[in-house]
Structure 1
Amino acid sequence: MPKRSLKDDIVAAGLRVMFRTGYNGSSVRDIVAEAGAPQGSFTNHFRSKEAFAEAVLDRYFAHVKGLVRDAMDDPTLTPRDKLRRYLDIITGRLERDGFSRGCLIGDFSLEAAPQSEPLRARLAAIYAEWRVPFARCIAAAQAAGEIATTFDPDELAEFLLASWQGAILRMKVERGPAPLERFKAIVFATVFAPVSTPEPKEPT
């Protein structure tokens, strides 16, 4: 009877280890120890640490896309409220980690992208895919008159993701929710502010 593949166990362990110690701080030895697997299992499944990191990123991004769907597919919310709901979902998860652990995509963007062209290219593809549901939601909010049409939905989606990543990085420094709540308060009072309806003019 063939042995069970340890590939998924190693990827799951790598996700935990890389969240704790980053891309550069994670050794193959640490990862296989976390997985309870022999070191040969790593080289059997992954040709390099870069290839392994891509698999870890893909697993993490699949999880993130599930969180996006939780907010975007909620039929009880307006498009604008779906955007807020997603940020609140992420805030809640970051709070459960004591505001010490951020987003692996953002972490890899800072640490791994400058060193590895394959990882930089994979991260660029992730951001492009990640933007799509937000741009669609923003376009729906604009069509519904909830958000001004001053900017293109794709540009606003890029702005949202990039600025939110910055707020998460600052949160890790402060170990508290203030940067996240500040970002949400400002962005929904400005860029995503409700479109005001002009008051009717008095008849002359």
Structure 2
Amino acid sequence: MARQSLRETLLDAGFRTIWDAGYSASGVRDIVAAAGAKPGSFTNHFPSKEAFVGEVLDRYFAYVSGLVETALAADGTPPVGRLKRYLDVITSKLEAADWARGCMIGNLSLETVVHSEPLRQQLVSIFERWRQPFANCIREGQASGEIDDRFEADDLADFLLSSWQGAMLRMKVERSPEPLERFKRIIFATTFGKVPS
């Protein structure tokens, strides 16, 4: 069996370390120690902590994109049902972390954008790509009359993601699912509720 490369081992360890401690509290030494690697090994594979975190972020977004693709898949479920399905899938994952972890994209958005222009630009790009499948689903709901079309689908998708990030932030503060459930109750009774006649 092929041995995993040290680069992959470092990325795996860094992913876990950043999840547990955040960007600022995760030093290169912590990542190397978590990987069981030698102290100089990090710079053999990554030019900086910033570049390393950029790769961790790409990995996380690939994982999230898979969840989005599955939840929003056109399988006969109406668009609003698929949006609910996504939020419910994420809620179950947040529950597994005792409402303490949140979303790595949101966490890094709060923590890095003041200090790292490359990471800020990467996050801008991630949010733009993340919005697209939601906008497509919303557009489908608008075309069928299920979702109000007074607002552009892209704007509604942006509103959904931004508001959901805020609900997750409150969830982490309160260590409770109530901010998530409140968000879902309100958004599906208003924005994605019955189209006004």
What is the TM-score of this pair, normalised by structure 2?
0.96
Instruction: Compute the RMSD of aligned alpha carbons.
Output: 1.4
Residue number in structure 1 paired with 2:108: 108
**Aligned 1:129-144 pairs, distance under 5 A:** 129-144=129-144
Moved more, 9-18 or 112-121: 9-18
Q: 1: CA distance between counterparts of 2:152 and 2:138?
A: 9
Q: 2: CA distance between counterparts of 1:183 and 1:56?
A: 29
* Structure 1: tracts of 5 or more residues without a match: 199-204
Identical pairs, percent: 56
Q: 1: CA distance between counterparts of 2:39 and 2:51?
A: 16
Q: 1:4 to 1:185 in 2, by over 3 A?
A: closer
Q: 2: CA distance between counterparts of 1:171 and 1:63?
A: 21
1:40-63: CA deviation from partner (whole Å, max 9, x where unpaired): 221111000100010010010010
Residue number in structure 2 paired with 1:17: 17
Deviation at 1:149, TM superposition (A): 0.4
State the secondary structure of the residue aligned to 1:114: coil
Residue number in structure 2 paired with 1:201: none
The answer to whether 1:165 aligns with 2:165 is yes
Residue number in structure 1 paired with 2:67: 67
Deviation at 1:123, TM superposition (A): 0.4
Once superposed, which parts of structure 1, at least 4 consecutive aligned residues long, lie more than 4 Å away?
none
1:47-105: CA deviation from partner (whole Å, max 9, x where unpaired): 00100010010010010001101101150411111111000000000001100111010
Deviation at 1:39, TM superposition (A): 2.4
Aligned residues: 196
**Aligned 1:111-130 pairs, distance under 5 A:** 111-130=111-130
Residue number in structure 2 paired with 1:151: 151
Q: 2: CA distance between counterparts of 1:131 and 1:39?
A: 39
Could you tell me which amino acid in structure 2 is paired with residue 128 of structure 1?
Answer: E
Moved more, 72-81 or 115-124: 72-81
State the secondary structure of the residue aligned to 2:181: helix
Could you tell me which amino acid in structure 2 is paired with residue 25 of structure 1?
Answer: A
Q: 1: CA distance between counterparts of 2:8 and 2:190?
A: 43
Moved more, 156-165 or 65-74: 65-74
Moved more, 37-46 or 130-139: 37-46
Q: 2: CA distance between counterparts of 1:146 and 1:28?
A: 49
Could you tell me which amino acid in structure 2 is paired with residue 136 of structure 1?
Answer: N
Q: 2: CA distance between counterparts of 1:76 and 1:17?
A: 40
Residue number in structure 1 paired with 2:57: 57
Could you tell me which amino acid in structure 2 is paired with residue 185 of structure 1?
Answer: R
Residue number in structure 2 paired with 1:83: 83
* Structure 2: tracts of 5 or more residues without a match: none
Q: 2: CA distance between counterparts of 1:59 and 1:184?
A: 27
Could you tell me which amino acid in structure 2 is paired with residue 139 of structure 1?
Answer: R
Could you tell me which amino acid in structure 1 is paired with residue 82 of structure 2?
Answer: K
Q: 2: CA distance between counterparts of 1:46 and 1:99?
A: 32
Deviation at 1:4, TM superposition (A): 5.1
Q: 2: CA distance between counterparts of 1:99 and 1:140?
A: 32
